[in-house]
């Protein structure tokens, strides 16, 4: 039986003596040919969620597009293959950058390939800082979920129901019928923090369970998950443990979506709106908790 958690965590207060290094060094590993926007969204969301320093590791081919996407993060262009995906030859530089960070957001828009899968395995095996694994980062392990155990540090995975179903070799309908139980079992089996996205997003480490109450159908739009990945990583970087970071991430992500819906409508909501409305979500959350 998992313990139901209903209270939200609180971010540590910011000291007047703080500097940008005080609020987390986040490395976002994302993007590929045709998917540069995923890197921009995840990194921009990490900044807006309070990360002090954000660096984006991307294939050299998409470096100009990502660099111009936001002047507030730095970039790390890396070797890529002929299809514009990160190459395994990028491993030494990527591992060094990850090891020098407080947390890594890994996966949005990376694409899939055998070589990329090998690169991701090396990062998991050789880096011990917390990792938030999303989208294609997770898809590269679909056939080998046991390899998620290569990571010695905390690992947060953020699958949507289809990705989760492929991980556990079930159909999506069966997953949706037992979301909490299956997420808890996967978390316990592989020592993970699982964020099973969708209506009433589930957060669990196999012992604790949080079911989110914010969010709306307008958030079912491309890039929404990339924003969540960046937010969770930012909260880890600011000192929350991975379970708490995931809790606060899904709650504020959904609350930003609700505030955007109230002004824009569900039909017109896009992923960049979530970032734009995040400051309002922070204010509303703080008003609720004080």
Write the DSSP assignment of 187-231 as a string of letters. Answer: HHHHT-EEEE-STT-EEE-SSEEEE-----GGG-STTHHHHHHHH
Q: Is residue 2 part of a domain?
A: no
Say if residues 31 and 54 touch (Cβ distance below 8 Å).
no
Write the DSSP assignment of 35-94 as a string of letters. Answer: -HHHHHHHHHHHHHTT-SEEEEEEEGGGHHHHHTT-TTSEEEEE-B-TTSSBPGGGHHHH
CA 162 to chain CA mean position, Å:
17
pLDDT tens digit at each of 290 positions of the chain: 899 999 999 998 899 999 999 999 999 999 999 999 999 999 999 999 999 999 999 999 999 999 999 999 999 999 999 999 999 999 999 999 999 999 999 999 999 999 999 999 999 999 999 999 998 999 999 888 899 999 999 999 999 999 999 999 999 999 999 999 999 999 999 999 999 999 999 999 999 999 999 999 999 999 999 999 999 999 999 999 999 999 999 999 999 999 999 999 999 999 999 999 999 999 999 888 76
Q: Is residue 14 part of a domain?
A: no
Q: Give the chain's domain count.
A: 1
- C-alpha 268/C-alpha 219 separation (Å) is 10
Show Cβ contacts of residue 13 under 8 Å, excluding neighbours closer than 6 positions.
none
The H or E element that residue 185 is part of is helix 179-190
Q: Is residue 80 part of a domain?
A: yes
The H or E element that residue 155 is part of is strand 155-157
- C-alpha 280/C-alpha 206 separation (Å) is 32
Backbone region of residue 104 per phi and psi (left: phi > 0; alpha: psi in -120 to 50; beta: other values): beta
Say if residues 281 and 256 touch (Cβ distance below 8 Å).
yes
pLDDT in tens, 138-194: 999 988 889 999 999 999 999 999 999 999 999 999 999 999 999 999 999 999 999
pLDDT in tens, 117-135: 999 999 999 999 999 999 8
Q: Is residue 16 part of a domain?
A: no
What is the DSSP-derived secondary structure letter of residue 271?
Answer: H
- Residue 145's CATH number: 3.40.1190.20
Angle between helix 242-264 and 271-289 (nearest 10): 110
Say if residues 241 and 205 touch (Cβ distance below 8 Å).
no
- C-alpha 233/C-alpha 102 separation (Å) is 9
Cα dihedral across residues 145, 151, 154, 155: positive or negative: negative
74-103 burial string, b = 16+ CB within 10 Å, else e?
ebbbbebbeebbbbbebbeebbebbeebbb
Say if residues 216 and 261 touch (Cβ distance below 8 Å).
yes
Read off the tokens for 34.
Answer: 């045709």
Q: Is residue 28 part of a domain?
A: yes
Q: Is residue 218 part of a domain?
A: yes
Q: pTM of the prediction?
A: 0.98
Q: Is residue 12 part of a domain?
A: no
Q: Is residue 233 part of a domain?
A: yes
Domain that holds residue 77: 21-289
């Amino acid at each position: 039986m998992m313990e139901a958690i209903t209270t939200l965590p609180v971010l540590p207060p910011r000291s007047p003596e703080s500097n940008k290094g005080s609020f987390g060094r986040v490395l976002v590993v994302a993007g590929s040919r045709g998917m540069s926007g995923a890197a921009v969204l995840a990194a921009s969301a990490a900044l807006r969620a309070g990360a002090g320093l954000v660096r984006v590791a991307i294939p050299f081919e998409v470096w100009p597009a990502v660099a111009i996407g936001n002047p507030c993060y730095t970039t790390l262009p890396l070797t890529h293959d002929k299809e514009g995906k990160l190459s395994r030859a990028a491993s030494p530089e990527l591992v060094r950058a990850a090891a020098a960070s407080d947390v890594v957001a890994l996966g949005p828009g990376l694409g899939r390939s055998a070589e990329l899968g090998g690169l991701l395995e090396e990062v998991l095996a050789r880096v011990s800082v917390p990792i938030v694994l999303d989208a294609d980062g997770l898809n590269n392990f679909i056939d080998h979920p046991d390899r998620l155990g290569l990571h010695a540090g905390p690992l947060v995975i953020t699958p949507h129901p289809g990705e989760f179903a492929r991980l556990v070799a079930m159909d999506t309908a069966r997953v949706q019928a037992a979301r909490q139980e299956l997420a808890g079992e996967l978390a316990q089996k592989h020592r993970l923090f699982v964020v099973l996205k969708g209506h009433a997003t589930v957060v669990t480490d196999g012992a604790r369970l949080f079911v989110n109450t914010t969010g709306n159908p307008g958030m079912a739009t491309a890039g929404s998950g990339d924003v969540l990945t960046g937010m969770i990583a930012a909260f880890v970087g600011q000192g929350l443990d991975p379970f708490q970071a995931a809790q606060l991430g899904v709650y504020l992500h959904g609350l930003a979506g609700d505030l955007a819906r109230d002004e824009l409508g569900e039909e017109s909501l896009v992923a960049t709106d979530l970032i734009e409305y995040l400051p309002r979500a922070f204010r509303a959350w703080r008003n609720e908790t004080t």
